[in-house]
């Protein structure tokens, strides 16, 4: 897969993940939120007291592993750093959660798997 088609798959995966979450009652607060070296794909709010930091992983197949397996410990550290910064910025006193949305291309579209509370 070329880097261009990988980038297109990533963008399509992010759009599908956002659509999936919005359909389940989540509200979008930030997309591609950056803090220092960290980037969070989606930051969603569920109800009045839960912020959800979402890492979206899209793959053209599971041939080399499942998408969720590509969220490294370093990426988790960066997500936690960004979450701490946003909590301070918003003076957030509610709960937070880290989710992974794993998307795999199939013959009929994208298969979405939602891993709630995937790590802390």
pLDDT tens across 38-70, in order? 999 999 999 999 999 999 998 876 667 777 888
pLDDT the model gives residue 98: 97
**HSE, side-chain direction, 13 A CA sphere, residue 45:** 13
Tokens representing 90 are 């918003």
- Quote the CA–CA distance of 89 and 83 in Å, as a whole number: 10
Q: Please write the tens of the pLDDT for every residue from 63-119.
A: 677 778 888 899 999 999 999 999 999 999 999 999 999 998 888 878 899 999 998
- Domains of the chain (ranges, CATH numbers): 3-119 (3.40.1350.10)
Structure tokens at 66: 């499942």
Q: Tell me the β-bridge partners of 68.
A: none
The sign one gets for the Cα dihedral 120, 50, 57, 33 is negative
Q: Which residue has the higher pLDDT, 48 or 2?
A: 48
3-state SS, one letter per residue, for 5-56 = HHHHHHHHHHHHHHHHHHHCCCEEEEEEEEECCEEEEEEEECCCCEEEEEEE
């Amino acid at each position: 897969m070329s880097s261009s088609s990988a980038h297109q798959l990533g963008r399509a995966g992010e759009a599908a993940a956002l659509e999936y979450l919005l359909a389940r009652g989540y509200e979008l607060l930030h997309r591609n939120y950056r803090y220092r070296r960290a980037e969070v794909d989606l930051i969603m709010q569920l109800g009045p007291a839960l912020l959800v930091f979402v890492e979206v992983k899209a793959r053209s197949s599971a041939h080399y592993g499942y998408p969720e397996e590509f969220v490294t410990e370093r990426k988790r550290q960066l997500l936690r750093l960004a979450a701490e910064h946003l909590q301070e910025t918003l003076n957030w006193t509610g709960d937070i959660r880290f989710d992974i949305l794993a998307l795999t291309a199939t013959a009929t579209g994208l298969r979405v798997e939602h891993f709630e509370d995937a790590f802390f």
